[in-house]
Amino acid sequence: MQSNRELFEAYNKAVYRTCYYMVHDAADAEDLCQEVFITVFRSHWQDVEHVRAWIMKIAVNACLNHLKRSRSLQQKVTQNLHLWNGNSETPVERLIEQKETELEWAGYLSRLPVKIRAVLTLRYMHDFSLAEISEALSIPLGTAKSRQHKGLKMMRRILLEAGIQDEEWRRAPFEEAGKYAEASVK
| Residue 80: predicted pLDDT | 55
Neighbours of 44 (CB within 10 A): 7
| Residue 186: predicted pLDDT | 39
**Total length of the chain:** 186
| Residue 162: predicted pLDDT | 77
| Residue 84: predicted pLDDT | 47
Say whether pLDDT at 94 is over 50.
Answer: yes
Say whether pLDDT at 117 is over 80.
Answer: yes
**% of the chain surpassing 90 pLDDT:** 37
Q: What is the 3-state secondary structure (H, E, C) of 34-98?
A: HHHHHHHHHCCHHHCCCHHHHHHHHHHHHHHHHHHHHHHHHHHHHHCHHHCCCCCCCCHHHHHHH
Residue type, 164: I
| Residue 183: predicted pLDDT | 43
From the list 56, 54, 67, 55, the residue with the least C-alpha distance to 24 is 67
| 8 Å CB contact between 65 and 24 | no
Which of the given ranges, 60-69, 106-115, 166-175, has the highest pLDDT on average?
60-69
d(CA 173, CA 69): 37
Band of residue 76 on the pLDDT scale cut at 50, 70, 90: low
| 8 Å CB contact between 18 and 56 | yes
Calculate the average pLDDT of the chain: 78
The pTM of this model reads 0.52
Say whether pLDDT at 79 is over 60.
Answer: no
Model pLDDT for residues 30-72, shown as the tens digit of each residue: 999 999 999 999 998 888 889 999 999 999 999 988 988 877 6
Greater pLDDT, 107 or 4 = 4
Model pLDDT for residues 3-35, shown as the tens digit of each residue: 889 999 999 999 999 999 998 889 999 999 999
| 8 Å CB contact between 32 and 59 | yes
| 8 Å CB contact between 18 and 122 | yes
